[in-house]
Structure 1
Amino acid sequence: MTTAERLSKTESDYLSQLAMATERYANRTEQRERNRTVLDTRGVLYADEPQRVEKRLARLGADWSLAMAIEKTPSEPVTTAGSTLQLPPDSFGSDVLGLERLIERNNLTPVAFLEEGTLAARAVGRITTSGPGGGHGTGFMVSPSLLLTNNHVLRSREEADRSVVAFAFQTGIDGRPLVPAVFQLEPRRFFVTDRELDFSLVAVAEHSAQGDPLSAFGRLPLSGAQGKVIIGEFVNIIQHPRGEPKQLALRENQVIDVLDRFLHYESDTLQGSSGSPVFNDQWEVVALHHSAVPKTDAEGRPLSVDGTVWTPEMGEHRLAWKANEGVRISRVLQALHEITLTGGAARLRDEVFTASAALSPPVEGSPSAASASWPDGAAHGAGPDGSTAYVTGGTAHLTVPLRISLGIDAPASPVGTVTTAQPTFTATPTLTTAPTFPRFGRSDGRSAVERDLNAALVNFRLGRERPYYDRTRDHDARAAYYAGISTTDGRALRQALTELLEETHSPRPRYKPMRLVYPWVDLHQDGKLRSIYSGRAFSAEEFIRADAAVEEARLARMQEFLLHESAAGPAEFEAEFDALEASMAFNCEHVVPQSWFTKQEPMRGDLHHLFACEVGCNSFRSNFPYFDFPGFEEAVRDDCGMREEVGFEPEEGKGAVARATLYFLLRYPGLVGDSPGEFPRNRLPSLLTWHESEPVSEYELHRNAAIAEIQGNRNPLIDHPEWARDIDFSGLWP
């Protein structure tokens, strides 16, 4: 028998919950109105914080490039494929339909949405408490044994002891009521409550009074991962309003604000809905519904549905609501982890986190982090020494006795492979045993590379339906972007531009040329890619498929390394990553070489200095700084340009690479030029000469506008070439 309660000064009665929700709602009025304005004028991709939107897109298997392409493509009548886009059925999957639905381009959804919702609904039941203070609420199973609801539904072990939960209390498809299965709650076996976050977690009997097994009703895994919902999205709530048979509020509930611990959304939940699960469109639980915000008069008194001042004698069903509030499920999990439990209670608590692993990795630091179960095909593994690994949110995590964590450019969602990029290592000072690294499995469905490949090809095909460059629109955007910038003082101009470029660089996409550079950003007006140094023309699809093949080969090599090099440490991993990048390069050039900034983000993925470039030219340039040779005879030369120990001069694209380098210097002052072989200050005149000798082309104008759509900032040297001689660049070197 174990009861754990996190004490709080907050009163636990329902009216207190209403008062606190009302206060939180009132305190966020200005921000909420701003959210509504952005939703009305720009859409759901812009109302929330860019990092949250990025994580949401990643969880949907998409990114800003694909989102922008869909958003900018004119709507067409719905095709037989189910999309508003003129694409053949095999050109897209749920990622495209999910994005269309997210940005309100298309309300269609696969029929599996209803089937998954039906499965989710089975785990939701009506709670009934008898005796003093009794009533109804809603709860849902989150592990094989535990049910989650509100603290104000089950305030204490004593109340829970007088309570039951009924599953299948609903109407069948024939319009007749089903026979509910009623289970006794068992708080003496497990009961945890948190007054401040308004949740209670309680054990449920394994069988109903009629002998029905609890396992027949399933459970809803809880995930602490970010990216489950953003402002402007619609959520779904399965509930027992006023104790009535189970009902569903479907996509009429818009999230209007995200607080640190709560979500505010507009919906039709009623009394008795307390304790209901709040779902996104993928039927992931995003919040625990717990309170509503009543309408009030000028004196702050709650109003009834007929407009009069409400009093408790009227009953809560007479209250007039204006919004609802749910507790973010990630905060519930965090609080649950922090509660100290032992023995059987601890094991039951751990099952909540283990169940969560069915959809995503456990919350960092959770008690089940080392023992979580993983779905078939997920990117995961476990070593004999207790090491574990998983891939999520763009990062591959390996936890071993050394506790090494690799930050790499993994695909957007958990997959069965590991992509290769420069790792970031964090390790404890001592190592007592040699780490064993697991082999990552592969998904039975599309691989991560296949998903990226298909998304890139969709983006490329969408681009052919878009105007290549809208001069009028871009002129207006440019004027708004630099409003208030003064050019009277070179140093002040440089500082103002640096601040502007950093402030507006949001989101900050990670390096993924296959999806972000080739399909749209780097295209020329004829729909071709041109190698930045040689000028050779390639089809976008050619580069996309070539990089996909390289990525697959890299993944295979890294998996072999993880399998055979069990004693490898940070130095060995770093060397292997470097060797892979050197031997299997993408067709993408960093104008400022990656080695100069140790392959770190956001520099690595900053689109302003990424250009299509065949591997041969990429390797020929290597990491030599740009140099203006006085003649050709003394230099090693091929179709890509000229190279000697002092530097590299491109055969083509000098103006474009000069402007990209000047952008980089402005955006990241003091980052390069502090080591031998990096861009020295005395090379600045060469860049300025290249900039002036090759004027900005329509290709660069298109690039600049396309990049601004994806990552928010612009290149001032493209927008205002005349500023090159006004800017005081002297303060940009270490």
Structure 2
Amino acid sequence: MATAELASERQSDYLSQLTMAAARYANRTERREGNQSVLESRGVLYADTPERVEKRLARLGADWAMARAIERTQTEPASSAGSTLGLPPEGFTSDALGLERLIGRNNLTPVAFLEEGVQVSRSVGRITISGPGGGHGTGFMVSPSLLLTNNHVLRDKEDATRSKVAFAFQDSVDGSPLVPAVFQLEPLRFFVTDRALDYSLVAVSPRGAQGEELSSFGRLILSEAQGKILIGEFVNIIQHPRGEPKQIALRENQIVDVLERFLHYECDTREGSSGSPVFNDQWEVVALHHSAVPKTDAEGRPLSVDGAVWQPEMGDQQLAWRANEGVRISRVLGALHEIPLTGEAARLRDEVFTAGLTPPPVPSAAQMASFNGKPPVPATNGSQARAAQETANATQFLLPLRISIGFDAPSFSPPAVLAPQPAPASVPQATPQPPVKSPDVVSAVEKEVDAALTNHRVARERPYYDRVADAAAREAYYANIRTETGDALRRALTGLLADSHEPQPRYKPMRLVYPWVDLHKDGRLRSIYSGKDFSAEELIRADAAVAQARLARVQELLLLESTAGPAEFEQEFDALEASMPFNCEHVVPQSWFDKQEPMRGDLHHLFACEVGCNSFRGNFPYFDFPNFEEAEREACGMRESVGFEPEKGKGVVARATLYFLLRYPGQVGDVAREFPEDRLPVLLRWHESEAVTEYELHRNAAIAEIQGNRNPLIDHPEWAREIDFSGVWP
């Protein structure tokens, strides 16, 4: 094909790409303006979906409790540690700083941010396409052998055959140019491309023109996991604009919209930036930059800077820019998985997902809390590498505290379900763990401890309960609720509780229950059944020991995945959870709703409770024993085959259970041994016999901040007799 024909074809492709990007941008105008309004009025935590925000917080080592506490903390001048939270330097962590930065409370960042940016930049190179229709682009290594760029940079194997990539094409610190390392592309060894997602993946020669080792320039780890970026956050782009030496557009480039396959962001990029990696503030790749979004006329045609209709021969520099567009990296990876490859090509493709891993992978403590009560199904064949990479990415940025959590463990046998304990222990129980502790396991749990203790320190700086503010919040919450009939009241409350239950945090007692929600006014935790008190740190560390033991055991189970199928693995995991419980009680037992979210993580029915009482109650329904005051009973209460009556907290658990019945109608009483309808009077008696306390008011307000909804039985105790509960049973 002639040079002019190739150039014309490339220009036509570029014009088509610009037009499609502009159309996508225009079609999202209303949504984008809505996002901007929310960003200006409420902030980054509210412009995106609650699910995406929760995943982003988890990736930062934070959660809704910490985020809301930081939001509500009075702004103070930055301390020597860089925090606006008033924490002492030893109590301040990079996680807290990252969260402040996300929320917009603090623009400081560790110096290591720049050092890591320099490291990741080594994997970014300038692509030069020689011959007819040639030009420049940007690409980056994503495995030991493969480089990622745009389809419109390398459209086919022919383009790639006459192309090279130069690493270290940049200036040194003294302003003098470095000597670049130039490598030939090898599309005959590997080349895949996708025009719709505008990506090409190509092999690079392992040695450069002067004998340089390709491995010396590293690679960027890619992840399909969600939670890497939110609307309103800022991104960083390392690029070779117009083929010039390597440059960076640093942070002040805001994500303005998230589409199914694309991100829109404001950024200073130019021709030649195509194929650049788009990073978040943790230097994770979130997108493959592929197009600017031009200003257009009424017919959708790109405009030049002087307002005329732009033509390719005018040059990219004459385009009037509006924004930029990148392909979401998770979508690129998803498409790459689906390409049927065999032999050496399949092996090279798999390296994008597996290179650098040390099997077996270890789920993070956060992942353990988000399994919905079920284990990760052991991966096999092609999916094994994918699952392994996601697990590895989840722990990639752990910042350990080097906390020692130990207990005597002469041996470790496969777990079995504990029989109900005849007498609960007076202190939280730490379950023995395997004698060999994986560094990844220890690091994952230490991160959870770190975040939980930071949550606790931040929360304790706040007033325990603001009666005036909560009264106003309560009035606004129920403003549209009418009480004409009991059935109408029940239906209205169920709808309100469901609609306002946003976000829906996963089950994480160490992070969400102990640090603030379940505290009493003296700053202590009290077992809901026995009344024994503990410090928040006691239960955090005790649960951390349990999490560490669970994780170590899961690692052992993963080693057996070749011989154990999903059913056997799930059974083993269920036994593991039963034998290693946390010091947290679900007043509505998890088995009644099959450990499903959002029920499992709903804070309104989660309470601190030492392991002994937790096991003693089991999943027995509540019961009112006629001779309870005279009978011999354990410290937790009394249990017989008909049910369980707690020693303490009857009014509290009654109101929590009534909330659950309203919030999740049909979930309780559908099988034998769950709370039957004819025991509703038990809950109503307990509710009326023990008035709502300041502790419950504090809990209710704290939970409303985290998950949005409230407990009507705490806010309006008189409604208990007005609500027609008959409709909540199956």
TM-score (norm 1): 0.85
In 2, the alpha carbon distance for the partners of 1:92 and 1:114 equals: 20
List per-residue Cα deviations over 1:655-678 (Å, max 9, x = no partner): 221110011111111111123322
C-alpha RMSD over aligned residues: 3.5
- Structure 1 residues 652 and 724, CA gap change in structure 2 (3 angstroms): same
**What's 2:241 paired with?**
241
In 2, the alpha carbon distance for the partners of 1:666 and 1:279 equals: 44
1:211 aligns with 2:211: yes
**What's 2:539 paired with?**
543
**What's 1:514 paired with?**
510
Of the structure 1 ranges 588-597 and 14-23, higher mean CA displacement relative to structure 2 is found in 588-597
Kindly indicate whether the alpha-carbon contact (under 8 Å) linking 2:369 and 2:506 is maintained by their aligned counterparts in 1. Answer: no
TM-score (norm 2): 0.85
Aligned-pair CA distance for 1:21: 0.7
Kindly indicate whether the alpha-carbon contact (under 8 Å) linking 2:369 and 2:508 is maintained by their aligned counterparts in 1. Answer: no
Q: 2:453 aligns with which of 453, 457, 463?
A: 457
List per-residue Cα deviations over 1:191-238 (Å, max 9, x = no partner): 222111111122223333333332222222222222221212111100
Kindly indicate whether the alpha-carbon contact (under 8 Å) linking 2:362 and 2:440 is maintained by their aligned counterparts in 1. Answer: no
Of the structure 1 ranges 581-590 and 718-727, higher mean CA displacement relative to structure 2 is found in 581-590
1:96 aligns with 2:79: no
- The letter for the 2-side match of 1:347 is R
**What's 1:379 paired with?**
362
- Structure 1 residues 535 and 444, CA gap change in structure 2 (3 angstroms): closer
Q: 1:469 aligns with which of 465, 482, 487?
A: 465
List per-residue Cα deviations over 1:379-399 (Å, max 9, x = no partner): 289xxxxxxxx9897564523
**What's 1:645 paired with?**
641
Question: What SS class does the counterpart of residue 253 from structure 1 fall into?
Answer: coil
Aligned-pair CA distance for 1:694: 2.5
**What's 2:378 paired with?**
398
Higher helix share: 2
Kindly indicate whether the alpha-carbon contact (under 8 Å) linking 2:701 and 2:710 is maintained by their aligned counterparts in 1. Answer: yes
Higher relative contact order (CA 8 A, sep 6+): 2
**What's 1:198 paired with?**
198
Question: What SS class does the counterpart of residue 449 from structure 1 fall into?
Answer: helix
**What's 1:426 paired with?**
none
1:658 aligns with 2:654: yes
- Structure 1 residues 161 and 572, CA gap change in structure 2 (3 angstroms): closer
Superposition pairs for residues 63-212 of structure 1, below 5 Å?
A: 63-212=63-212
- Structure 1 residues 494 and 270, CA gap change in structure 2 (3 angstroms): same
List per-residue Cα deviations over 1:474-520 (Å, max 9, x = no partner): 33333443343332232233223223322332332222212211110
List per-residue Cα deviations over 1:22-45 (Å, max 9, x = no partner): 111111112112211222222212
Kindly indicate whether the alpha-carbon contact (under 8 Å) linking 2:415 and 2:575 is maintained by their aligned counterparts in 1. Answer: no
**What's 1:626 paired with?**
622
In 2, the alpha carbon distance for the partners of 1:700 and 1:283 equals: 42
**What's 1:433 paired with?**
none
- Structure 1 residues 553 and 315, CA gap change in structure 2 (3 angstroms): closer
Question: What SS class does the counterpart of residue 597 from structure 2 fall into?
Answer: coil
Question: What SS class does the counterpart of residue 323 from structure 1 fall into?
Answer: strand
**What's 1:606 paired with?**
602
Of the structure 1 ranges 345-354 and 305-314, higher mean CA displacement relative to structure 2 is found in 305-314
- Structure 1 residues 310 and 478, CA gap change in structure 2 (3 angstroms): farther
Aligned-pair CA distance for 1:700: 1.3
Of the structure 1 ranges 572-581 and 646-655, higher mean CA displacement relative to structure 2 is found in 572-581
Of the structure 1 ranges 286-295 and 226-235, higher mean CA displacement relative to structure 2 is found in 226-235
List per-residue Cα deviations over 1:350-390 (Å, max 9, x = no partner): 332333xx4xxxxxxxxxxxxxx438x95289xxxxxxxx9
Superposition pairs for residues 478-557 of structure 1, below 5 Å?
A: 478-555=474-551
1:701 aligns with 2:684: no
Kindly indicate whether the alpha-carbon contact (under 8 Å) linking 1:392 and 1:414 is maintained by their aligned counterparts in 2. Answer: no
In 1, the alpha carbon distance for the partners of 2:215 and 2:443 equals: 32
In 1, the alpha carbon distance for the partners of 2:202 and 2:522 equals: 64
Q: 2:724 aligns with which of 715, 722, 728?
A: 728
List per-residue Cα deviations over 1:44-101 (Å, max 9, x = no partner): 1222111112222222222222222333222332222233333233334332222222
Kindly indicate whether the alpha-carbon contact (under 8 Å) linking 1:288 and 1:328 is maintained by their aligned counterparts in 2. Answer: yes
Question: What SS class does the counterpart of residue 692 from structure 1 fall into?
Answer: helix
1:290 aligns with 2:290: yes
Of the structure 1 ranges 136-145 and 603-612, higher mean CA displacement relative to structure 2 is found in 136-145
In 2, the alpha carbon distance for the partners of 1:598 and 1:635 equals: 34
In 1, the alpha carbon distance for the partners of 2:595 and 2:485 equals: 34
- The letter for the 1-side match of 2:38 is V
Kindly indicate whether the alpha-carbon contact (under 8 Å) linking 1:392 and 1:412 is maintained by their aligned counterparts in 2. Answer: no
In 1, the alpha carbon distance for the partners of 2:627 and 2:363 equals: 56
- Structure 1 residues 537 and 440, CA gap change in structure 2 (3 angstroms): closer
Q: 1:715 aligns with which of 690, 711, 715?
A: 711
In 2, the alpha carbon distance for the partners of 1:333 and 1:569 equals: 27
- Structure 1 residues 11 and 658, CA gap change in structure 2 (3 angstroms): farther
Question: What SS class does the counterpart of residue 253 from structure 2 fall into?
Answer: strand
Aligned-pair CA distance for 1:470: 2.5
Kindly indicate whether the alpha-carbon contact (under 8 Å) linking 1:280 and 1:286 is maintained by their aligned counterparts in 2. Answer: yes
In 2, the alpha carbon distance for the partners of 1:673 and 1:421 equals: 30
**What's 2:394 paired with?**
413
Kindly indicate whether the alpha-carbon contact (under 8 Å) linking 1:393 and 1:414 is maintained by their aligned counterparts in 2. Answer: no
- What's the % identity of the aligned pairs? 74
In 2, the alpha carbon distance for the partners of 1:601 and 1:217 equals: 43
List per-residue Cα deviations over 1:541-570 (Å, max 9, x = no partner): 222223333434445566677779996666
In 2, the alpha carbon distance for the partners of 1:700 and 1:345 equals: 61
Matched residue count: 682
Q: 1:587 aligns with which of 583, 587, 592?
A: 583
Kindly indicate whether the alpha-carbon contact (under 8 Å) linking 1:58 and 1:393 is maintained by their aligned counterparts in 2. Answer: no
- Structure 1 residues 254 and 693, CA gap change in structure 2 (3 angstroms): same
Higher strand share: 1
Q: Where do 5+ consecutive residues of structure 2 fail to align?
A: 1-9, 399-404, 406-411, 418-433
In 2, the alpha carbon distance for the partners of 1:556 and 1:143 equals: 29
1:667 aligns with 2:663: yes
Q: Where do 5+ consecutive residues of structure 1 fail to align?
A: 1-9, 359-372, 382-389, 424-437
In 1, the alpha carbon distance for the partners of 2:556 and 2:128 equals: 56
Kindly indicate whether the alpha-carbon contact (under 8 Å) linking 2:453 and 2:515 is maintained by their aligned counterparts in 1. Answer: yes
- Structure 1 residues 518 and 18, CA gap change in structure 2 (3 angstroms): same
